[in-house]
């Protein structure tokens, strides 16, 4: 069981944001409309076998045409904030040079609709849909892409700076490097293994340059970035398991967080040399580590790591291919991800471990003493949904108890860990954004991993709120009631 919405609401501090998130490529569709240019993802997802079930992003949730309906559903839900991303090729079709006014206009309408509905916008500038022309020039292997991102950030600042409350420069560079360039599971489909490493620095530089562009434009909103964080847990007391977990921690967590929060790459990474991928002018490191107004963290699960080859599931449950390719390329797998014994798992096979939310936050607090306020920019779970139709009333009901419990347990764990006396009390936690507002195009998993609070029927495109939607609505109502009671008491006690 999980605690009641009322009990959970009582744990929420004042000014804590409850939001929902999406990303442009996962929901918009309309890939050829109003002057949008092609994205690398358009081409990647058309390759046979790239997407589970052959799912096409061409229509996705058709959000491009249904945006007002989706904002109305968020207004009913009552969320404080909506995190969405800009489609870079919609606004700047080739990733450099002239902008497409029709593309810019879409997010103008979205921002106005959100503000009219009392929803505060959090805008992610880059959530993986690189313009194809940039991918053709090397994508993130090419340092120039970092400068192109900064230019795009300046365009966004000029067009939307007056209305955006929070900016996220880039989302999960670790996933782009690992899945996009090392393993070939995401666009651009490169399986370069360690030769993918230059994409780390180029993305982080792109982040830093984008921060500079936003600051130079004088935007009033808060500026941050988003990294995914998964605590790495050794499978046993075997020192080699511990070493393996340490390597995974370096490669997936610290490689992306240390440069931003400490201004340097981890010593062990630099010592390993990696073809000079991490030797850079001090100036780059200063740009990358500029102070942020908040740090965005995506927590989904911990990862259990063991030495040697094994049958284990792969992080993000993304493809058997990953294990095979790595094994082939390295002449034997040095370590692998183990299944979590007796843990509940999502449809992806991801372990459901809310107790590791506190561990993740505690590790962040210990590693990064100057951590700015933290926002959990994503968290959620894919579960297969069942649609129940009540014959008598002809109403549909989607009892997604497991997703609802996942959200309740994780939000509770985050609030308790960061409350006074909690294991991560040093962290100033400012919000939690549920991933996702609606079922959507889940990258290489296509339409087979529903994360939504809203069910989307991909035939009719009809949206149906799930039980988790009504639960979040109740949580927000309870939180608002508690807050207004505090105000009433303060007034009654007033001067
Ligand atoms: C995120 N992991 O990716 C992305 O930001 C979203 O676009 C995506 O839809 C969502 O999570 C669900 O997959 C992740 O290995 C990739 O822990 C990898 C991990 C977590 C999230």
Query: Is the Cβ–Cβ distance between 176 and 183 less than 8 Å?
Result: no
Active site residue 378: yes
CA of 138 to the centre of ligand 1 (A): 23
| Alpha-carbon gap, residue 19 to 36, rounded angstroms | 28
Tokens of 60: 């996705």
> What is the spatial distance between Cα 173 and Cα 252, in angstroms, rounded to a whole number?
10
Q: CB under 8 Å to 156, separation ≥6 — which residues?
A: 86, 91, 123, 125
How confident is the model over 179-194, as pLDDT tens digits?
A: 999 999 999 999 999 9
Strand-pair partners of 222: 166
**23 Cβ inside 6 Å of ligand 1:** yes
**CA–CA dist 378, 407 (Å, integer):** 11
pLDDT tens readout for residues 52-107: 999 999 999 999 999 999 999 999 999 999 999 999 999 999 999 999 999 999 99
Give the residue among 59, 70, 54 at the shortest CA–CA distance from 30. 59
Band (pLDDT 50/70/90 cuts) for residue 333 is low
At 489, is the pLDDT very low, low, confident or very high (cuts 50, 70, 90)?
Answer: confident
Q: Which residue has the higher pLDDT, 416 or 491?
A: 416
* pLDDT at res. 493: 85
Residues 6+ apart with CB under 8 A from 494: none
Does position 483 have pLDDT exceeding 90, yes or no?
Answer: no
Mean pLDDT of 309-320: 45
Asked whether the beta carbons of 248 and 303 are under 8 A apart, the reply is yes
* C-beta of 400 in contact with ligand 1 (< 6 A): no
- Mean local confidence (pLDDT), 442-459: 98
| CA separation, residue 233 to residues 209, 267, 350, 354 (Å) | 34, 21, 14, 14
**How far, in Å, from the CA of 279 to the mean position of ligand 1?**
29
Q: Mean per-residue pLDDT for 314-328? A: 40
Mean pLDDT of 331-349: 83
- Whether 230 is in the pocket of ligand 1, judged by its Cβ within 6 Å, is yes
- The Å distance, Cα 378 to ligand 1 centre, comes to 8
- Looking at residue 332, its pLDDT comes to 52
Higher per-residue confidence, 312 vs 229:
229
Closest to 435 in 3D by CA, of 256, 172, 232, 50: 172
Selected catalytic residue, list 28, 113, 172, 222: 172
Nearest CA owner, ligand 1 atom 12:
442
Categorize the per-residue pLDDT at 482 as very low, low, confident or very high, splitting at 50, 70 and 90.
confident
pLDDT at 308: 82
What's the confidence (pLDDT) of residue 326? 42
Could you confirm whether 172 is annotated as catalytic? yes
CB 370, CB 428: distance < 8 Å: no
- From 316, 340, 352, 382, mutation site for ligand 1 pocket: most ligand atoms within 8 A of C-beta: 316
Among the options 190, 222, 363, 378, which is catalytic? 378
> What is d(CA 197, CA 141) in angstroms, rounded to the nearest whole number?
8
Q: Is the CB of 17 under 6 A from ligand 1?
A: no
| Portion of the chain with pLDDT greater than 70, in percent | 95
- Ligand 1 in reach of 326 Cβ (< 6 A): no
Nearest Cα residue to 202 out of 259, 153, 154: 259
pTM score, two decimals? 0.95
Work out the pLDDT band at 309, boundaries 50, 70, 90: confident
Return the ∠ at Cα 285 (arms to 283 and 288), rounded to 5°: 115
C-beta of 135 in contact with ligand 1 (< 6 A): no
* Distance (Å, whole) CA 265 – CA 205: 13
* pLDDT over threshold 80, residue 479: yes
pLDDT tier for residue 375 given thresholds of 50, 70 and 90? very high
pLDDT classification of 320: cutoffs 50, 70, 90: very low
What are the pLDDT digits (tens) for 398-443?
999 999 999 999 999 999 999 999 999 999 999 999 999 999 999 9
Q: What is the pLDDT of residue 329?
A: 40
């Amino acid at each position: 069981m999980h605690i009641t919405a009322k009990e959970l609401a009582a744990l929420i501090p004042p000014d804590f944001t409850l939001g929902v998130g999406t990303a442009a490529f996962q929901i918009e569709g309309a890939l050829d409309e109003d002057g949008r240019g092609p994205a690398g993802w358009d081409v990647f997802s058309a390759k046979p076998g790239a997407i589970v079930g052959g799912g096409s992003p061409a229509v996705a949730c058709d959000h491009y045409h249904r945006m007002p309906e989706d904002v109305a559903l968020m207004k009913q839900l009552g969320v404080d904030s909506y995190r969405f991303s800009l489609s870079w090729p919609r606004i700047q079709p080739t990733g450099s040079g002239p902008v497409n006014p029709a593309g810019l206009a879409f997010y103008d309408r979205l921002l106005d609709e959100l503000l009219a509905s009392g929803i505060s916008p959090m805008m992610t500038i880059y959530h993986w849909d690189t313009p194809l022309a940039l991918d053709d020039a090397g994508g993130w292997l090419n340092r120039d892409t970092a400068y192109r991102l900064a230019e795009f950030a300046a365009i966004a600042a000029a067009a939307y700076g007056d209305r955006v409350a929070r900016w996220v420069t880039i989302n999960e560079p670790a996933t782009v490097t690992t899945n996009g360039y090392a393993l070939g599971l995401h666009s651009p489909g490169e399986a370069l293994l360690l030769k993918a490493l230059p994409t780390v620095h180029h993305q982080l530089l792109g982040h830093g340059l984008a921060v500079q562009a936003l600051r130079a434009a004088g935007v009033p909103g808060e500026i941050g970035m988003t990294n995914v964080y998964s605590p790495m847990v050794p499978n046993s007391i075997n020192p080699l398991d511990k070493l393996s977990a340490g390597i995974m921690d370096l490669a997936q967590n610290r490689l992306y967080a240390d440069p931003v929060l400490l201004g340097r790459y981890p010593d062990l990474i630099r010592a390993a040399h990696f073809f000079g991928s991490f030797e850079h002018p001090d100036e780059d490191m200063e740009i990358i580590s500029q102070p942020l107004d908040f740090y965005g963290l995506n927590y989904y699960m911990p990862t259990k790591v063991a030495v040697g080859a094994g049958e284990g599931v792969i992080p993000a449950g993304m493809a058997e291919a990953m294990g095979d390719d790595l094994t082939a390329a390295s002449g034997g797998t040095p370590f692998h991800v183990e299944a979590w014994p007796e843990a509940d798992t999502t449809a992806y096979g991801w372990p459901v471990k809310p107790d590791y939310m506190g561990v993740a936050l505690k590790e962040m607090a210990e590693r990064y003493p100057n951590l700015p306020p933290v926002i959990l920019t994503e968290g959620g779970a894919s579960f297969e949904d069942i649609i129940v139709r009540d014959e008598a009333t002809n109403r549909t009901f989607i009892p997604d108890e497991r997703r609802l419990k996942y959200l309740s347990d994780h939000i509770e764990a985050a609030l308790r860990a960061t409350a006074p006396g909690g294991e991560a009390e040093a962290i100033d936690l400012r919000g939690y954004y549920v991933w996702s507002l609606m079922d959507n195009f889940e990258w290489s998993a296509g339409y087979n991993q529903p994360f939504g609070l809203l069910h989307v029927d991909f035939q009719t495109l009809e949206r149906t709120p799930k039980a988790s939607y009504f639960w979040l609505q109740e949580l927000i109502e309870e939180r608002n009631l508690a807050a207004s009671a505090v105000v009433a008491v303060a007034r009654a006690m007033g001067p």
